[in-house]
């Protein structure tokens, strides 16, 4: 392949608030640059996992290279790097941004700036990207492009008067966006003669090629046979293949040089060796120092995952192993629960990440799972000076040897229209939020700033936020650090037996409330048995709440089914089948969904 003129490359990404049309615009860009015919276009080309399609969000970073013939008659290579769109994946977002030279900011012409718009655009500016705005959905009846343009200039402080007014969905004005990519986004810098320095912004596992590293070459050149070294993990391998990203496929090429975006394969067996944010260099001619900004990805949220059918434990282990090949931020270790048997304690970036993994396990691996209440990592300072990082509430040491405990705190920004400020502040109060301040973005909208304990937002905060603002509030957060907190372990006893899988850590002040709600919820979930079942919540052996599942009074069909015996039998079979899906705790059978249903306790719906 002839060497590529660096000045004709544009590496960029698209940033937006969720649902403002990022993926649709990406599709249009790919379509208009002509690499694909309309027929080949799936609804959204970049999001290629089913789950992403359904949830309408991008989970893994994706990239595509297209060729655009601009009005100046020159051909430009566009490397569009799609970034994950959720706060759980903030670190991945920041690495993807680092691989770009510029960004398109998509703002919904009706909704204007939202919390994630701000978070993402600041992130892009932090990475010294040149950002130009695009106003999308101008064909909506409620579109107010001029207002949004002013808002962008006032709030973000970037020039927006000549922002293309487009409809990505209906393909209006996409040409204008393409031209501005050429004129407003700078060409990459760097020299192909320097020692190799490439940034890993994603990687995935392929069963034929091994790990495929997605990278941006900052300096130097890499080709087949280069001995590459991952500077943070230290792994060294010989390059088997390099190439770039067609739409949905890998296209091998001779070499990748400074300014280019592409992939490298090198028979690497584990994505753990190719951490996102790490720098790839030439082992024989290394660069002086790695690119800045690498950090080890930390799991923020933990929960226990158990196969509903204990015999499926090995299947669950295999499935997790396979998922981890592709997702370095997932980690797990075996654990045992008295209630649920053999399973795994799994760590995730956030609750969404957790839900995605859970769904993939259930869907792609056909596993029926029982998940315990998600929790965060608490730091337990013991009287002997030892500090434990607690991920499983069952492992909390005896209170007598605990000096104090700390919990993770996030800085949260919530954008909300003024009519809902009161109810959102109330919600944050309930969740032990510390009010930091409020800024009006314009007449009717405000940005609320709170410090919130992470464990208060991981379950259902987002749902509660949406339901209390009729869907209008948007939310973003950053991990701030650890703070000392008065925490206790809340235990649940069913028929006087402690159920380890239902224990969780909670702030002392909300223990009573949470305990009471747990008991109420469980009372509804546990079917009546032949005997009465007390359900108790206890802290340190002291019962703080109680409910009772009354003994079963009736389970009979005093009805005439005539001669349709088959129907009657089906009913009995269903009943018997239902029993199989129960967990036996002592002599009480608990439905699997009881373990999950207790997670959502906000009753102001």
Residue 399 to residue 404: CA distance in whole angstroms: 9
Distance CA 351, CA 374 (A): 8
Nearest to 503 by CA among 374, 312, 310, 361: 374
Point out which span in 262-270, 381-389, 397-405, 554-562 binds other proteins (CB under 8 A): 554-562
Rule CB under 8 A: say whether 552 interacts with other proteins: yes
Least distance to other proteins, CB of residue 545, Å: 24
What is each CA distance from 208 to 205, 267, 343, in whole angstroms? 9, 9, 30
For residues 213 and 280, the answer to whether their CB atoms sit within 8 Å is yes
Q: Please identify which residue in 318, 321, 478, 573 interacts with other proteins, judged by CB under 8 A.
A: 573
Interface with other proteins (CB under 8 A), residue from 564, 586, 587, 593: 564
Taking residue 504's Cβ as centre, other Cβ atoms within 10 Å add up to: 21
- Number of chain residues interacting with other proteins (CB under 8 A): 23
**Which listed residue (251, 387, 401, 571) binds other proteins by CB under 8 A?**
571
Looking at the Cβ atoms of 223 and 529, the one nearer to other proteins is 529
Residue 576 interacts with other proteins (CB under 8 A): yes or no: yes
Judged by CB, which is closer to other proteins: 576, or 605? 576
By CB under 8 A, the residues from 50 to 69 that bind other proteins are none
Residue 300 or 533 with smaller CB distance to other proteins: 533
> Could you say whether residue 568 binds other proteins (CB under 8 A)?
yes
186 in Cβ contact with 6 (< 8 Å): no
Cβ proximity of 375 and 455 under 8 Å? yes
Binding map of other proteins across residues 485-524, x = CB under 8 A, - = no contact: ----------------------------------------
Binding status of residue 579 toward other proteins by CB under 8 A: yes
Alpha-carbon dihedral 220, 224, 225, 230, rounded to 10 degrees: 60
> Does the protein bind other proteins through residue 572 (CB under 8 A)?
yes
Determine the Cα–Cα distance for residues 237 and 282; give it in Å rounded to an integer. 10
CB of 552 to other proteins, least distance (A): 6
Q: Where are the alpha helices (DSSP H) in 33-114?
A: 50-55, 90-98
Residue 605 touches other proteins, criterion: CB under 8 A: no
**Contact status: 556 vs other proteins (CB under 8 A):** yes
Q: Where are the alpha helices (DSSP H) in 268-377?
A: 313-326, 351-364
- Cβ at position 582, least distance to other proteins in Å: 13
For other proteins, the closer CB: 161 or 575: 575
* Residue 563 in the binding site for other proteins (CB under 8 A): yes
Q: Does 553 bind other proteins (CB under 8 A)?
A: yes
User: In the complex with other proteins, which residue's Cβ is closer, 338 or 571?
Assistant: 571
Assess 1 for contact with other proteins (CB under 8 A): no
**Region from 92-100, 114-122, 460-468, 571-579 binding other proteins, contact rule CB under 8 A:** 571-579
Q: Does 530 bind other proteins (CB under 8 A)?
A: yes
Binding of residue 398 to other proteins (CB under 8 A): no
Q: CA-CA distance, 312 to 317, in Å (whole number)?
A: 9
Instruction: Single out the residue of 131, 33, 13, 178 nearest to residue 82, CA to CA.
Output: 13
Region binding other proteins by CB under 8 A among candidate stretches 60-68, 308-316, 495-503, 568-576:
568-576
Q: How far is the CB of 521 from other proteins (least distance, A)?
A: 20
Q: How far is the CB of 532 from other proteins (least distance, A)?
A: 13
**Shortest spacing between CB 470 and other proteins, in angstroms:** 23
Q: What token pair was written down for 316?
A: 């669950």
Judged by CB, which is closer to other proteins: 338, or 552? 552
Residues in the chain: 605
Q: Nearest-CA neighbor of 338 among 380, 394, 377, 379?
A: 394
72 is an interface residue for other proteins by CB under 8 A: no
- For residues 180 and 132, the answer to whether their CB atoms sit within 8 Å is yes
Identify the DSSP state of 40. G
565 near other proteins, rule: CB under 8 A: yes
SS3 508: helix
User: Cα-atom radius of gyration of the chain, to the nearest Å?
Assistant: 27
SS3 readout for 250-270: EEEECEEECCCEEEEECCCCC
Closest CB 382 distance from other proteins, rounded Å: 48
Other CB atoms within 10 A of residue 179 CB: 15
- How far is residue 332 CA from its own chain's centroid? 17
Only segment of 71-79, 209-217, 454-462, 574-582 that touches other proteins (CB under 8 A): 574-582
d(CA 500, CA 373): 11
Q: Tell me which residues touch other proteins (CB under 8 A).
A: 530, 552-560, 562-566, 568-569, 571-573, 575-576, 579
């Amino acid at each position: 392949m002839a060497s590529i003129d660096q000045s004709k490359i544009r590496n960029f990404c698209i940033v937006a608030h969720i649902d403002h049309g990022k993926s649709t615009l990406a599709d249009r860009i790919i379509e208009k640059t002509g690499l694909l015919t309309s027929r080949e276009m799936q609804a959204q080309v970049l999001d290629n996992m089913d789950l992403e399609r359904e949830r309408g969000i991008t989970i893994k970073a994706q990239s595509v290279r297209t060729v655009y013939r601009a009005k100046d008659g020159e051909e430009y290579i566009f490397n569009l790097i799609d970034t994950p769109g959720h706060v759980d994946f903030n670190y991945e977002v920041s690495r993807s941004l680092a691989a770009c030279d510029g960004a398109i900011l998509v703002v919904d012409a009706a909704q204007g700036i939202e919390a994630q718009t701000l978070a993402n655009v600041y992130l892009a500016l932090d990475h010294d990207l040149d950002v130009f705005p695009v106003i999308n959905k101008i064909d909506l009846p409620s579109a107010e492009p001029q207002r949004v343009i002013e808002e962008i200039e006032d709030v973000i402080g970037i020039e927006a008067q000549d922002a293309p007014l487009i409809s990505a969905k209906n393909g209006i004005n996409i040409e204008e966006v393409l031209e501005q990519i050429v004129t407003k986004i700078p060409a990459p810098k760097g020299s192909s003669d320097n020692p190799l320095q490439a940034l890993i912004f994603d990687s995935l596992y392929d069963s034929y090629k091994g790990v495929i590293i997605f990278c941006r070459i900052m300096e130097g050149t890499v080709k087949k046979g280069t001995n590459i070294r991952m500077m943070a993990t230290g792994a060294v391998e010989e390059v088997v293949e390099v190439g770039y990203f067609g739409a949905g496929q890998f296209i091998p090429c001779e070499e990748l040089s400074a300014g280019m975006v592409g992939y490298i394969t090198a028979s690497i067996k584990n994505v753990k060796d190719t951490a996102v944010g790490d720098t790839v260099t030439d082992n024989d001619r290394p660069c002086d120092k790695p690119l800045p900004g690498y950090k080890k990805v930390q799991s923020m949220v933990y929960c226990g995952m158990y196969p509903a059918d204990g015999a499926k434990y090995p299947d669950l282990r295999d499935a997790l192993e396979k998922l981890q090949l592709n997702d370095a931020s997932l980690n797990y270790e075996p654990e045992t629960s008295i209630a649920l048997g053999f399973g795994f304690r799994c760590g995730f970036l956030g609750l969404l990440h957790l839900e995605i993994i859970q769904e993939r396990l259930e869907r792609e691996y056909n596993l029926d799972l029982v998940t315990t209440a998600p929790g965060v990592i608490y730091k337990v300072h013991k009287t002997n000076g030892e500090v434990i990082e607690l991920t499983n509430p069952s492992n909390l040491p005896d209170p007598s040897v605990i000096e104090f405990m700390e919990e993770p705190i996030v800085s949260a920004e919530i954008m909300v229209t003024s009519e809902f400020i009161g109810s959102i502040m109330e919600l944050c109060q309930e969740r032990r939020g510390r009010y930091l301040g409020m800024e009006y973005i314009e007449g009717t909208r405000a940005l609320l700033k709170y410090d919130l304990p992470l464990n208060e937002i991981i379950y259902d905060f987002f749902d509660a936020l949406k339901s209390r603002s009729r869907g209008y509030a948007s939310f973003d957060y950053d991990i701030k650090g650890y703070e000392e907190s008065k925490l206790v372990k809340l235990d649940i006893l069913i028929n006087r037996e402690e159920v380890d899988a239902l224990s969780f850590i909670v702030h002392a002040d909300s223990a009573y409330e949470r305990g009471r709600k747990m008991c109420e919820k469980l009372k509804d979930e546990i079917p009546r048995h032949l005997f009465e079942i007390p359900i108790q919540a206890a802290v340190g052996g002291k019962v703080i709440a109680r409910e009772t599942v009354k003994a079963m009074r009736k389970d009979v069909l005093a009805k005439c089914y005539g001669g349709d015996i088959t129907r009657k039998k089906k009913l009995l079979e269903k009943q018997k089948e239902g029993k199989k899906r129960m967990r036996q705790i002592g002599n009480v059978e608990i439905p699997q969904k009881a373990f999950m249903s207790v997670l959502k306790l906000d009753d102001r719906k």
